[in-house]
Amino acid sequence: MKKSIIVLFMIFGIATMIISCGKNTENTVEKSEISKQKIEQVIKDLLTKYGESQKERIERGVNVVAKLWNGSESEFEKFCLENFIGNEKELDAVFNSFSKHWETLLGNFNRISLDLKKPVHIDEGEVTPLDLMVSGYEPSAHLTADFFENKIAYYIALNFPYYSLQEKNKLGKNWTRKQWAYARMGDLFTVNIPANLLLKSSEAMANADNYISNYNIMAGYLVDDNMNTYFPEDMKLISHWNLRDEIKAQYGKENPLNKQKMIYQVMLRIIEQSIPQDVVNSDKYKWNPFSNKVYQDNKEVSLKSEPNTRYYHLLQNFKALKEIDKYNPLFPTYIKAKFEKEMEIPQEEVEKMFVDYCSNPVFKEIGEIIKIRLGRELEPFDIWYDGFKSRSLLNQDELTKITSKKYPNPKALEADIPNILTKLGFKTEKAKEIASRITVDPSRGAGHAWGAQMRGDKAHLRTRIGKSGMDYKGYNIAIHELGHNVEQTLTLYDVDYYLLNGVPNTAFTEAWAFTFQSRDLPLLGIKNTNKEKEILDVLDAAWATYEIMGVSLVDMRVWKWLYDNPNTNEEQLKQKVIEIAKDVWNSYYAPVFGIKDQPILAIYSHMIDYPLYLSAYPLGHLIEFQIAEDIKGKNLGEEMYRMCVQGRLTPEVWMIGAVRNKLSAEPLLKAAKEAIKQIKNKS
């Protein structure tokens, strides 16, 4: 998972939307109205001065500033007439100058955030209450307000016009690289959110993140009705990542059902918040998740259930983000801002794509294949069926022996990155160069990738590494995060303009993370000799995408409900989340599984600490598949470089440049149908 808190600042502090705002006070942003007549007069005067060749820039720039202006009409007129740049050479000089300043600002704010959040992100001692408070502080919160106050924001908005998403997709196909960079500079100052609201949302997310990062289940202390344990005493599984991955790991072992059912029951208890609060991140008690009984020294004790803390954090994030909505009239909800502004794909399009995909009859057929392979009826947790992968046939304990020996500590993994990248197709010198810009840290949470925002800084790869070394789960996550880090490094250091650094949205960096993750076993020297590998890989990709699309549908529908019911409380929210999860399950999964009313799609931790992030995963799977199809028989390192250096175009333009087609679910569905056909022909 890509996790750079500067993204929060990018989302709200320099958002791509035009709103009514102006001078920032502690709690309000007031706006002066500029009359249509005054706007037309200023445009006319500038056209007289600079000529018709500047007409589009003048009209766009003046209208943007008019929407943002706080002050008198005479001041507005004077500012525009004195500060419009009509000379291309001067405009280019301003662009180059501000690009350097912007990199300095974002890079140093990112560095500050990285250091302030280190105690809660890195597993290096106890976290103090002050650490939690400091981790919620957003150092860049006042930057945008300051730039409106000193009129730098107006200056940039006037001279580098804003283009809508539709305009970028239509015009951008024929833009030069510099025109794209100019357009992205035009995205910088089109919103001015009060700093106290940015700080409030940052604090809410930091608190939720700390809650999730420390939500561990001591698997060795789980017992059944006969007080039997099934897992090693020292096994600690973070929710949801390790719980899910342990279910996946069991497909390669004998008699996995008891373990899988036990973990699934733990998940249900977390969702419904009937889990005893004091068993979380604690080895003081033995807990039977089926009966929900708790034991200490083999005697039953009574513990209180978790008091809807999970839904408290979800609700706090909603409340903090909703307060920002009134400053976003073009995108009046966080839902619209997230999809149309940040992801640059409308939410309605994403939801329709997911519904159409999950409704496809191909999954009924894949479900039947899984039943045959398992030799039993499907269980709800088989949404995470991992048996199509080659690793499912391998003993994960044996894999852990390999990874723990190879990577006993973070430095061992860091030292091996050049070798990993060489195996993935990067030339030796390029592999060393990329690796020199990535450092590895031990994570408190499941793991994440934090990219640099300034050339000269390093990206951070964070994954769990225990006292006995990195287990296979940690290694698998680490390779995923390395995909993020390589993308982050290439798109910062090798993209021609700083304003174009990055990828279109988080789904694209997830696509590269998935691309790396799918190669984790070959990187260990483990080859798959299965002649049906290509067929099974397609079925695995289709099924994994099917699962995570349902999770994302739950996430989106929960947020829609929150907007319809903004005064809800934690208990009501919990009940609605469970209801929505069951509804999505009954619509798209029950017909395949033959089981109704399962809430398991609500288990994902991202829903709690990363609002509306989940759609990036299924979109990432679709992008990954289209990339994989395009680079068959080609060098991964070279192709990744070619695609990444496009930088932050819109998703549509990026995909056409990368694989010559728009983002679509059809290639994966088509491949899945063909894979099923081949399996039937062989049977």
**What does the pLDDT look like over 438-460, one tens digit per residue?**
999 988 877 889 999 999 999 99
Q: Which of 497, 523, 549 is the last residue of a domain?
A: 523
Is 425 in the same domain as 504? Answer: yes
127-184: pLDDT as tens digits:
888 988 888 788 887 888 899 999 999 999 999 999 999 999 999 999 999 999 999 9
Q: Is residue 629 part of a domain?
A: no
Furthest CA-CA distance within the chain: 89
Instruction: For the chain, give the mean pLDDT.
Output: 92
Rounded average pLDDT over 481-493: 98
Is 660 in the same domain as 581? Answer: yes
The count of structural domains within the chain is 4
Predicted pLDDT at 15: 37
Phi/psi-derived region of residue 663, left when phi > 0, alpha when psi is between -120 and 50, beta in every other case: beta
Distance, CA of 485 to CA of 435 (rounded, Å): 9
C-beta of residue 466 within 8 angstroms of C-beta of residue 237 = no
**Reported confidence tier of residue 191, pLDDT bands at 50, 70, 90:** confident
Peptide bond into 240 cis (omega under 30): yes
**Where does 166-263 show beta strands of DSSP type E?**
216-218, 236-238
Rounded average pLDDT over 346-364: 98
**Reported confidence tier of residue 23, pLDDT bands at 50, 70, 90:** very low
Query: For the ranges 65-69, 548-552, 646-650, which has the lowest average pLDDT?
Result: 65-69
| Angle formed at CA 57 by CA 182 and CA 92, multiple of 5 degrees | 40
**Reported confidence tier of residue 294, pLDDT bands at 50, 70, 90:** very high
**Reported confidence tier of residue 394, pLDDT bands at 50, 70, 90:** confident
Is 165 in the same domain as 251? Answer: no
Predicted pLDDT at 29: 43
Range of the structural domain that residue 265 is part of? 215-272+274-307
Is 24 in the same domain as 170? Answer: yes
**CA separation (Å) from 229 to 291, 293, 300, 371?**
14, 14, 16, 27
DSSP summary character for residue 413: H
Distance, CA of 488 to CA of 640 (rounded, Å): 12
**CA separation (Å) from 365 to 359, 461, 532, 638?**
12, 39, 17, 37
Start-to-end C-alpha separation, the chain: 39
Distance, CA of 383 to CA of 551 (rounded, Å): 11
218-260: pLDDT as tens digits:
999 999 999 999 999 999 999 999 999 999 999 978 889 999 9
Q: Is residue 79 part of a domain?
A: yes
Is 90 in the same domain as 234? Answer: no
Is 149 in the same domain as 19? Answer: yes
Predicted pLDDT at 19: 31
**Where does 59-185 show beta strands of DSSP type E?**
none
567-589: pLDDT as tens digits:
999 999 999 999 999 999 999 99
Distance, CA of 399 to CA of 53 (rounded, Å): 65
Q: Which of 532 and 428 is assigned the larger pLDDT?
A: 428
DSSP summary character for residue 632: T
Q: Which of 311, 304, 243 is nearest to 271 (CA)?
A: 311
Is 38 in the same domain as 127? Answer: yes
Is 454 in the same domain as 361? Answer: no
Q: Which of 200, 224, 257 is the last residue of a domain?
A: 200
Q: Is residue 622 part of a domain?
A: no
Q: Is the pLDDT of residue 39 over 60?
A: yes
Is 497 in the same domain as 360? Answer: no
Q: Which residues, 6 or more positions from 634, have their beta carbon under 8 angstroms from its beta carbon?
A: none
596-633: pLDDT as tens digits:
999 999 999 999 999 999 999 999 999 999 999 999 99
Q: Is the pLDDT of residue 25 over 70?
A: no
C-beta of residue 550 within 8 angstroms of C-beta of residue 584 = yes
Is 143 in the same domain as 12? Answer: yes
Is 455 in the same domain as 421? Answer: yes
The fraction of the chain above a pLDDT of 70, given in percent, is: 94
